[in-house]
Structures are given as structure tokens and as C-alpha cells.
Structure 1
Amino acid sequence: MIIFWVAFAAIIVFFLQAKIFHKYALRQIGYERQFQKRVSYRGETIELVEQLTNAKWLPVPWMRVESQLSSDLRFHRQDNLEVSSGKLLQNHKSFFTLMPYTKITRRHRIVCRKRGWYKLQSVTMTAGDLLGFLHQTKQIALNGELIVYPTPAEVPVHELPSHSWQGELSVRRWIVEDPFVVMGTREYRSGDTYKMVNWKATARTGNLQVHQYDYTADRRLMVYLNAEDNESMWRSINDEELIERGIEWAAGAAQAVIQGGMETGFCTNMPIIGEFGSTFVEPRSGGGHLTDIFEVMAKLELVRTEPFADLLTREADSGYSQRDVLVISSFWNDQLELQADRLRRNGNAVVHWKLTPNPVQEQAGEAG
């Protein structure tokens, strides 16, 4: 008989604690999650910080916090953390025990494997009684974000300016001559335009002579990145790794030139996430502008918005001049050469870097 009453009392206690924890376990529970910093570079390790607060007298025997995050943010191994990863998303679960009136802070180390724009969406908290018979679930919306910049590639800096451009000082240039500063004459070369011909020097020497221009500081660089990984592609990018490398080449060129004091812009036939048109950043100078370019690059979506030849046609139609033009593309054909030649005739210089799986190896194009 005693055993019966003990068993009966145990059952009553079991159901009472289950009801109490089911009703109150998630009350006055506070939860915060944020990245250690808002921006990072691909390959860096940052921290994701969780804070969980129990502001009531009742302890929480167990709590599970679940959320999803991009698989491009890899978690380091850690106790009380379970991660199951798919191709695009990973689900991770953190486990806690909360005593009354306590706060727990947990830091997760994350490797940023790919540039991108990552947002914290929501977490699902589940808590229950001592024996796990009943549980309660609650979802909390989050608003944190992480912007991972592309890692600037080591482009051939020996071909970039060796020092800053200031005022009207004559400097070493990597792409272009200034058509407004004449320092002498030289013999005609293939690719020179007839407006460059110095007729007096030609008459004097008997050979076709053209103006020899000096290099000065009042030019701007425009970097164009082609999202097409081959000549026959449509909207979908097949070789994403190749285009990611192109973004890093563009970042490296922009960084080297802006740090040298020159104004730089960026344009590509890819959209920013959530938008539809091609991306264009006007040339400016300074560290703040470089950060703006990196942020735009981080938010690019790997989708082609329009044929690259159409983009270059529109740029040539705009009629701008006195710019250095760097085109990063996995191929070069007659259509692109035609638009590059139009840009040259407008008074710009055009250089093509062929996008390959290896570091920058090949350059094509003539300054003009």
C-alpha cells in the first residue's frame, strides 16, 4: 500500500512539474544574438555572440536554441553546439541550463568562407520540464547582419602607380597618357589616332610623327567586371568560383589605385541583392569610397543582368573622356574590342585583364 501511495505521489509531482515548466519555462527569458562586428573580409574569423537571460525565480532545466545561417559561415567545433550543414544553409542548435536570475553569454567562432551579405533572421527556443515530457516553443525575430568583403587580390602592383597623384605633378602611370600635356614627339605606332599626328614634326623629319604625351594626376580609373564566364552563357553563371575571383581582382585594383590617391569607380553586369539592374559606382577617392566599393562588391548577386557588350556600349555612348578603363573579363571578342575602341576614341585608355583560374597573368589592350 505504501508503494502505491509513493507511486501515486510521484505521478502527481511529475505532472505538476511538467505543467509548471510548460507554462513558465519561457517566461521572462531574454535572448540576444549579434555578430562581433558588422563587416569582415573573406577568410577572417569573427565571433557570433549569444546572450540568454532568465529573469525569474524558476530555473530552466534545459533549453534548446535553433537557427539557420548560411553554410558559407563555418562554425568552429564547440561543446553544447550541434551543427548540421547543407549546401546552402546550416542548422545549428545550442543547449543551455538556466538557473534563476542568471545571464549566460556564449561566443561562437565563425570563419567567413565567402564574401556576401548575411542576415540573422530568427531563432526558435524550446524549453521543458525536468524529464522532457512537455515542452514549449517560442520564436524570436533578429535583425543583425554581417557584410563580408571580398579579399582584395594581389594584382600586378608594379604596373600600378608607384606613388600618389597630387595636383598637376607628372607621375608614373600604369595605363594612360594625358592628351593635354605634350612633352615631345615620337614616331607613329599602330593604334595611334590621326588627331595625335604632329604635322610640323612630320614635315620636318619626313616620317609620320605623333605627339608624345606626359602622365599627370587628373585622370580617373573605371573598373569593369564581366559576369559572363563564357561567350555563350545566358543569365545563370556557371563558373561561380571564376567570377568570385574576378570580384577579388577588381577589389585589388580599386584598393591599390585609391590608396595611391586616384579616383576609382566600379561597374559590373551583376545586381546588388534585392535589385535588378547592373551595378555602377561613380569614381571618387578616399578610404570611405573604397569601403563603399567593397560593400557593393560584398552585396553582388551572381546573376547576369545584361550582356557585357551592351553595358560597354552604353558606357561608350555616354561620351565620357580622360579616364583609364580596366576591363576584367574571361574572354575578349570583336564586340568588346569595338566598344573598347570607341572608348579610346573618346579620349580614354582601355586595358583588358583576362580572367583566369590563376593570378593575373595576361593583359591585352593598348593605351590610347
Structure 2
Amino acid sequence: MKMKRNGRHWFAFAGLLLLAAALFSYAMFQGGFVSWFLFYSFLPFGLYAFLIVVYPLRRAAVSRTVPVRRYHADEPVPVTVRIDLPWPIPLAALTVVGEERKRVGAIVAWPFRRRLSCTWPLQLPRGRHQLETVILEVGDPFGWVNKTASFPAPCTVIVYPRYIEWPFEAVHEWFANGKAARPISLHRDMAVAAGAREYVPGDKMSWVHWKVSARRQELMTKEFDEQRNDGWIVVLDGASSPVFEELVTLAASVSKALLDQGVPAGLLFAGKKRSFLAPRRHDEQWTSILLELAEVNGEGKDPLVRTLAEETNWRSAAGCVIVTSALSISLLQQLRAIASKRHVVLYIVSREWSHEQQSWADGLRRNGVYVSRIDPQMLQPVQQGGGNG
């Protein structure tokens, strides 16, 4: 295929030579102004086509750059391609194409400089994208001869998820209703000693249980109940779903609302490949959450229930926000167990809401779980995440 592509312009030029020979023969045998005018009018275009054939396009140097900033889904990504041409001759049209998006590029007409640059916007979905190749194409004004060459120009672009401004008042509203309404604790609770065990090197001296140590004549360390902190975990369901992008948008929006108010926020992705970010409140946490959400994929099969049952890293969190698109009996049982120990918020992104699901949601609310169904249309960003936000 490569040899055919490289030899195609030679076949086109051979056809032009036959046309030139026919015009010359016609002028020689016919004579007169008209016949010679036709021949001499064709001659410069034929010579230019020959110049395109012998033009060493593969000796061009091509590089691609993308400005360093944060890009979000469906936001135009400005791609700049710089080209150093081998010969300083004007080209009728130089087409620059990014192979990763067929026929997306720019056309530079009659460039008289060897060094050129062109920029075009590239629409990319959420995720990590590796741009590999740039294609250059040159031709004559009539399109008789076209020459194409591809150049490696690797460039990595990370497209982060969209997010909307999620009001922090909604966080307080989570616990404003229901029997189990409780105030949000934004301060670390003191751990309560539940027993004592033998001292192990590495235990803090503040954990030594002095009364029991004096009674048993050996160092004993306090054993604590599950230590609770003020961190929150946003749990994203990684099951296959037609509204998975909306789930990612909601997870990003809630995470940002928590961090903006100084609440330590973490992320647990319950997918085919599980990932966890511990709750933190520093500025880098928002970037870490965005990066994690940029690369998640909804490919799992019912992974949320297994993750809630098996995951232990986040059990000390003060609460969790679970983002999913489906409600099931097995999930109900897990949520009831979790709600007895910590704050639980359940967001269900779904276009439909049956009477059975409504009954399940009412039962969860009676167990202290804040449940809310969100229509996917509500997650279409009014103010789309962009810039450095």
C-alpha cells in the first residue's frame, strides 16, 4: 500500500507528460497561434506539477505542541503544528492533517516561507489521548499531482471531566431531613479506647494504657474502636451505563464542592480496575481527583456492591457520597449497613424512576440515607469546567 501511495503521483505525472506530448504534436502538425498558445499555456503548470513530483516532502521537519493547561471534555484543544520545509518554493496548497482525527487540520495556501505554523481546535472526549502522527499533503493548483507524507509528532493530551458548580448548601441539606438527621461534623473525633493489647515496637507512647500496664506489670497499648475523621469519600460506580459520563461529572462536581469548603475529600472508583484516593484537603487533591476521573471507564459488571463490601481503606471516613445509575436489593443491604456507622448520601442518575425504586428510596431515607434522583439533563454544565479551575 505504501509503494502504491508513493508511486501514485508518478502515474499522474506520466499522464501529464502524455498530455504535453499530445499538445506539442498538435501544435507541430496544426500550427497557428491557437495550437501553440494551448501548448505554452499548459507548459508552466506541467513544469510545476513536475516540481511537486520531485519535491522532497519527506525531508520536512514537523513538530506538534499543545499549550500546557487544563482541558475539559468537549472543550476545544488548540493544536499547533510547526513545519520546516526542505525547499523555499511556493506551494499551491499545503494541507496539514492530524491522523488521530481524520481530515482535521488546516490548509496553508502559497506559503513563501520555509518555516510555517498552523493551529486548529481539536475536540476530544474525556481521557488520556496520545497524538501520534501528522500528515502533510501538497499538490498543484489543478489537483493533477498530489504528494503525501506522514511524520511522527507525538503529543499527550489529558482531557479532564466536566463539572458544574455544585452548591455547598446541598451538602448541608443531606442531613436536614429524615429521622436520622445529624449535623455534619467537620472536626476529627477523639478515638475511644475499647481494650488493651501488648505493646509492639513502633506504637506511640500516647497510646500506652498506663493503668492496665501497672496492673499487669508490662507495657500495654490501647486498642481503639474504628477511628473516625472528618474526611468524606466520593464513591463512583464503575458499572457499564449509558449515563456514565454524567456520573463522572457529578462525582467531580461534588468533590469540588467539598474541597472548596475545606472538607477533606477522597475518591473511590468501584470499577473493573478499582482505585482509591485518601481524603485530603490540600490544593493538589483536586488535581489528583480530576486526573483519576479523566481515566476511569465504565466497563465493570455490578462492581459497586463488591467494592462496598470489600473496601477497608475508607472505613474511617465521616461519610460517603455514592454516585450510581442503578438501585438494587443487594445495594440496599450494603447501604443500610454503612448508614449505621457514618453519613451516607446516595445520588442516582437516571432518566426513569419506577414505583419500586421510589419505595426502596423511601426505605433508605428511613434508615438515615439521603437519597436523591438526578435527571442526566441537570448535569449538562451551565458553567463548564475549564481554564485552571
| TM-score (normalised: structure 1) | 0.64
**Cα offsets for 1:7-37 (capped at 9, x unmatched):** 7778876665434321225154333333334
The correspondence for 1:24, drawn from 33, 52, 55, is 55
Unaligned runs of 5+ in 2: 1-24, 174-181, 193-227, 353-360, 371-389
1:354 paired residue number: 348
> CA 1:357–1:150 in structure 2 vs 1: closer, same or farther (change >3 Å)?
farther
Cα deviation for residue 315 of structure 1 reads 1.5
2:27 paired residue number: 3
- Cα distance in 2 for partners of 1:15, 1:91 equals 28
2:285 paired residue number: 289
1:63 paired residue number: 94
**Cα offsets for 1:87-109 (capped at 9, x unmatched):** xxx53253223444343333324
Q: Which has the higher helix share?
A: 2
Matched, 1:257 2:258: yes
For 1:104, the aligned partner's letter is L
* 1:7-156 equivalences in 2 (<5 Å): 17-26=48-57, 28-69=59-100, 90-110=102-122, 114-129=125-140, 131-156=142-167
**Worse-matched range after superposition: 254-263 or 300-309:** 300-309
- Cα distance in 2 for partners of 1:52, 1:261 equals 47
Greater C-alpha radius of gyration: 2
* 1:196-235 equivalences in 2 (<5 Å): 218-228=229-239
* 1:268-283 equivalences in 2 (<5 Å): 268-270=269-271, 277-283=273-279
**Worse-matched range after superposition: 1-10 or 103-112:** 1-10
For 1:94, the aligned partner's letter is A
Cα deviation for residue 64 of structure 1 reads 2.2
Q: Is the 8 A contact 2:189 2:229 kept in 1?
A: no
Identity of aligned residues (%): 18
- Cα distance in 2 for partners of 1:60, 1:253 equals 53
Q: Which has the higher strand share?
A: 1
Matched, 1:310 2:321: no
- Cα distance in 2 for partners of 1:148, 1:105 equals 24
Q: RMSD value over aligned CA atoms? A: 3.9
2:368 paired residue number: 366
2:202 paired residue number: none
Matched, 1:300 2:257: no
1:340 paired residue number: 335
Aligned pair count reads: 286
- Cα distance in 1 for partners of 2:257, 2:369 equals 19
2:169 paired residue number: 158
Q: Is the 8 A contact 1:175 1:349 kept in 2?
A: no
Q: Is the 8 A contact 1:175 1:367 kept in 2?
A: no
- Cα distance in 2 for partners of 1:12, 1:151 equals 57
Partner of 1:283, secondary structure, is strand
**Worse-matched range after superposition: 278-287 or 243-252:** 278-287
For 2:127, the aligned partner's letter is G
> CA 1:34–1:181 in structure 2 vs 1: closer, same or farther (change >3 Å)?
same
Q: Is the 8 A contact 1:351 1:367 kept in 2?
A: yes
Q: Is the 8 A contact 1:38 1:145 kept in 2?
A: no
